Amino acid sequence: MYRVWYIAGALVLWLILYQSFFRYEYTMVDGNAVKRYDRLTNTTCGIPDCLPPTPTPVPKPTVFDPVVSYHEWQARFDHEARLAVLMVKKTEFGEELMHSPEAKHFAWTTEWADQVAGSVFVLHDPKSDHPLAMDPAYSESLHDPKFHVELVCFCNSAGSGYRWEVDLNKKTITYVNDDPTLEKKYGLVDSK
């Protein structure tokens, strides 16, 4: 009985060795295999034709997730807000304000300024009760340079203080409190 298993095992081993080492004969040109001869089927083919086609990887479709998009944009806008505040703090007037005796009663805040609508821009959270649609078109529209403008305020708890419009595209800082057009734009004075 054991002889049958030995014979079957030897046959399987011989088939594996034959398949691995003796079935194919390759024609080499300049060190590269260009043809393959199959001793079992007595056929010859060129190397690219013999091999099974390599499947082209198909990119996984990106599914738009409004919550993920919101958090990505929120992180970007928070980063830009920090940059805008740092730009203002580095000005001579910003440094004076930070070292003034009343500075402890004030805080640095930012709002996104919408250059087109002429008002303050708010990123809409899709989890809020009445959100605007956070769809791919809305998300793509946020790449517009008009959203790279910040309204920086060194304000007290009542909301009064010093304001600057910081354009992160042009790297410019405009003091809002001395500019009637900007004061009107941001609703800091009555619009008449």
Q: How much is the pLDDT for 60?
A: 82
Q: Number of helices and strands (H, E) in the chain?
A: 6, 8
Contacts of 143 (CB under 8 A, 6+ apart): none
Is 16 among the domain residues? yes
Q: pLDDT tens-digit profile of 143-159?
A: 777 777 888 989 888 88
pTM here?
0.58
Q: How far apart are CA 32 and CA 30, in angstroms?
A: 6
- Tell me which residue has tokens 């009760």: 129
Is 60 among the domain residues? no
Instruction: Kindly state whether residues 141 and 168 are assigned to the same domain.
Output: yes
Instruction: Kindly state whether residues 108 and 162 are assigned to the same domain.
Output: yes
| Structural domain boundaries enclosing 91 | 66-185
Is 153 among the domain residues? yes
Q: pLDDT tens-digit profile of 110-124?
A: 876 554 444 445 565
Is 55 among the domain residues? no
Number of domains in the chain: 2
Strands of 3-130 (E only): list them: 24-29, 32-38, 43-46, 107-114, 119-121
The stretches in the chain having pLDDT less than 70 are: 1, 19-22, 33, 48-54, 112-134, 190-192
The pair phi, psi for residue 7, each rounded to 5°, is -65, -45
